Chain A
Amino acid sequence: MRFAAITVAAAALAAVMPFAGVSVYAGTLVYYAAYYLVLGQAWNMMSGLTGYVSFTHGALAGIGAYTAVLAINGGWPITLALVAAVAVTAFASLVIGVTSLRLRGTAFTFATLFFQELLLLGVRKLPAAGGAAGTTLQEILPTSLPHVLMVLTAAGATIAFALLRRSRTGVRLLAIKGDEDAAAAVGIDATRLKIGVFCASAALCGLAGGIHALFIASLHPESVFSVDTSIVALAVPLIGGVETALGPVAGAILYVGLREILQIVAPSLHLVIVGLLILLVTLFLRDGIIGAARRLLQRRRTYRAALETAR
């Protein structure tokens, strides 16, 4: 409850930024942190809880982005366009899920990478989506709209993850991650559950992608379906800490901050450095920054308690 209240308060503060005279630059950083947070939470739901590593979350957001732009250009109201973005992405994930979630471990990861590339090729050849040249949003919208929507979605995704993690479904997903055979032996229908959570996670990506399309307004297949976005969706929870709601929050803020600094210091190296960071975190802080911070706090508490007893 306290966690939800703090999340809502932080989101409210972040959401009013465009109206409170905060610089466009700072607002954009917050916007991107929120966007990556949604993708990170979506990845955390699927891959963080089940252990099935997805490399296609960026492409799922791309489907949402294209759907929203095509719908708005076709005369649909924004709300309906975003609903369509969610629905189309969820449907696409169902197709990906049904075909690839019977695979286990790295086979699934490679299947998602394959879908990522397949989607890029497909969209490049699709005349309705503008082909290789991409497409542009016909309507001019203030960026404050996607800003507010994205921040609210990020808060919603964070609270939704926290609730899922504590629920029975969350425990069942973690059981699949722990040992899929053992999970089946206690009566867990792993395949259906994995497909279900993959669809939910994809729906979230679709919404984020749809909102992001309103922000960037111009879509190019190479950038929208770039594997870079999928790597960010995975890096954010890995750096911050998987299986926790706070992990992606820390990861998204750190990632966006780091990217800004690197764009000044070493513009072409930002993904290399993010890769190194993931490597360092997985080697030395296996449960991410939040996990390490929790352990540190726990140790201090134990130390203090020991001191108290000694007195």
Chain B
Amino acid sequence: MLDVRNVAVRYGQALAVRGVSLRAETGSWIAIVGPNGAGKTSLARAICGLVPHQGTIAIAGEDISKLPAWERQRRGIGYVPEGRQLFGAMSVEENLRVGAFSRAGAEVRRGLDEAFALFPRLAERRMQAAATLSGGEQQMLALARALMDRPNLLLVDEISWGLMPLLVAQVFERLAALNADGLTIVQIEQNAHEVLRRATHAYVMAAGVCVFDGPAKSVARDPRVLESYIG
């Protein structure tokens, strides 16, 4: 599904990602964990085409490295960015509609119904401006917006950041349900314990490189990894 090879991201003189490779098979749930400043978000933004990068990125066998962000999205990448990046002045419903703007009317309505079924709180806040939602609701909206265009691959960046533990559990439940339905998930998380419990495979990043990868369960149990990179 996703094949990332030797990707590097540079901001001026600083190398944020120094040649990372990773794979995500269809239907898998990949965790990318590591401390702050490890380059996880830069890697996610490179996969989405939001920052210039070196190396190749392929989705379903097609090289998308040279495509702009909007074309990559149309190849089936749904992105839930860190910090949510909602359209604050727009209502909840408008945010969702933007997520599916290339779809026909009936599909948009079905998408809205599904989003509101998945996140009933959003239905209650339907006409409210996105900027006025609580942190948890904003996170749900960012996730629902990314799902509106029916992606094949969901790239989720720090979704549990700033959320109450109860909400974190709810969000993970939703992700698990989506994964069970066949959606491939690549999830960047500082909350490593929860994501490693759920994911199939994990990559540990530090200082811009991938320092360890393996089945998520074994990463979760490896004392060296836990001690050095996750804590």
Contact = CB atoms under 8 A, between A and B. Distances in A.
Given A181-B50, A185-B48, A186-B149, A175 B70 contact: no
Interface stretch (B94-102, B163-171, B189-197, B214-222): B94-102
Contact of A184 (B50, B89, B146): B50
Given A175-B98, A186-B98, A187-B74, A181 B85 contact: yes
Interface stretch (A27-35, A107-115, A166-174): A166-174
A260 interface: no
A182 interface: yes
A179 B68 CA distance: 16
Given A184-B68, A185-B69, A172 B50 contact: no
B68 A189 contact: yes
B70 A178 contact: no
Contact of A185 (B85, B88, B89, B97): B85
A189 B70 contact: yes
B79 interface: yes
Interface in A179-217: 179, 181-191
A178 B68 contact: no
Interface of B: 48-50, 68-71, 73-74, 79, 81, 85-90, 94, 97-99, 101-102, 145-146, 148-149
- Most A CB contacts (10 A, CB to CB) among B87, B89, B102, B146 go to B87
A224 B73 CA distance: 44
Query: Nearest 4 A-B pairs (CB), nearest first?
Result: A178-B87, A184-B69, A187-B73, A182-B85
A298 to B, nearest CB: 13
A182 B81 contact: yes
16 contacts: A174-B90, A175-B90, A178-B87, A182-B86, A184-B49, A185-B50, A185-B73, A186-B73, A186-B101, A186-B146, A186-B149, A187-B102, A187-B149, A189-B71, A190-B70, A191-B68
Contacts of B71: 189
A185 B88 CA distance: 16
A171 B145 CA distance: 14
Given A175-B98, A187-B74, A187-B101, A182 B49 contact: no
A183 B99 CA distance: 9
Given A171-B90, A175-B87, A185-B69, 14 more contacts: A171-B97, A172-B98, A174-B94, A178-B87, A179-B87, A181-B50, A183-B98, A184-B70, A185-B50, A185-B73, A185-B81, A186-B101, A186-B146, A186-B149
Contacts of B73: 184-187
Nearest to B74: A187
A50 to B, nearest CB: 13
Contacts of A185: 48, 50, 69, 73, 79, 81, 85, 146
Contacts of A171: 90, 94, 97-98, 101
- Most B CB contacts (10 A, CB to CB) among A175, A185, A191 go to A185
B211 to A, nearest CB: 28
Contacts of B68: 184, 189, 191
Contact of B101 (A168, A179, A191): A168
Interface in A148-169: 168
B89 A178 contact: yes
Contacts of B81: 181-182, 185
Contacts of B148: 186
A172 B101 CA distance: 8
Nearest to A287: B89
Given A171-B101, A172-B98, A181-B81, A186 B88 contact: no
